[in-house]
Amino acid sequence: MIANDCIEPLQYFRVRDRHPRGEGPWKGEPDKIGWVDQQTDRHCIILREPNGTLSGYAGVTPDHALFGFSADAVPSAMGIRVHGGLNYGRHCEANVPEMISVCHVLSADDRRRSNATRGHGGTSDMFEHVDLWWFGFSTDHPGDFIPSASAANRSDGIEVYRDLAYVYAEVVKLASQLSAIEDVGEAPGDLKIVLPVKRLTHSNEGSEGNEC
């Protein structure tokens, strides 16, 4: 249960190297949680960054109007509004450990099928059969509390820690906004995308669960 929503986490990790030390609202939080949003069917991730903050991500498929766009290339008129603005637009981190990667959110059954397809000793991307492009945001902007021990603002008392419930709400909002663009086939308000725009290539950058 997050922010009064009951979700089925398909990824749920605690990452000791990234989890903030000391008392705080982060104490009972996971360091990565991945799920498929029921309203939009989008893969979503909340990930703990090395500085102790949480970032949020939602994926789009190749048929989406923004697939392949870098974050700074998304036209503001598209109406994407998330905490601090979009600052992440990349292909799956296919060869990064699952507990810290921004990549596909697979169920246990999907993972077993993928491993069987790869065979023993295979080194290919376990997610190469599906393309997703991820958009995301961070919570380490001015006014955000950064819980890492070395952060200068840890004891300032004026910043706000963006907790799991807050970031979850922003991720769900991002997924909804991306789906609204997909539903109309273009930006809200019949906006046409004027090319050229900056696009990135599609090359790769390179649990436990809760029950409601």
Q: What b/e sequence results for 23-34 when a residue is b if at least 16 CB atoms lie within 10 Å of its CB, and e otherwise?
A: eeebeebbbbbb
User: If you average pLDDT over every residue of the chain, what do you get?
Assistant: 79
**Higher model confidence: residue 194 or residue 171?**
171
Cα–Cα distance measured from residue 182 to residue 59, given in angstroms and rounded to the nearest whole number: 12
Q: What is the mean pLDDT of residues 133-146?
A: 94
In a domain, 3, yes or no: no
How many structural domains compose the chain? 1
Which residue type does 165 have?
A
Q: Is residue 49 part of a domain?
A: yes
Is residue 202 included in any domain, yes or no?
A: no
Quote the pTM value: 0.78
Which positions ≥6 away from 156 have C-beta within 8 Å? none
With the CA atoms of 24, 30, 32 and 38 taken in that order, what torsion angle do they form, in degrees rounded to the nearest 10? -110
pLDDT at 184: 55
pLDDT, tens digit, 9 for 90 and up, residues 90-126: 999 988 999 999 998 876 566 555 555 545 433 234 4
132, 60 contact by CB (below 8 A): yes
Mean pLDDT of 70-94: 94
Establish if 119 belongs to a structural domain.
yes
DSSP state of 199: B
Residue 206 lies in a domain: no
Tell me whether residue 209 is in a domain: no
Q: Is residue 61 part of a domain?
A: yes
Residue 3, pLDDT score: 61
44 in any annotated domain: yes
Q: Which domain holds residue 64?
A: 11-190
Q: Which of 45, 58, 40 is nearest to 9 (CA)?
A: 45
As a whole number of angstroms, the distance between CA 77 and CA 53 comes to 28
Two tokens, residue 137: 């945001």
pLDDT band at 138 (very low <50, low <70, confident <90, very high): very high
Taking alpha carbons only, the member of 209, 13, 210, 202 closest to residue 98 is 13
| Digit-coded pLDDT (tens) for 154-188 | 556 668 999 999 999 999 999 999 999 966 554 44
The answer on pLDDT for 22 being more than 90 is no
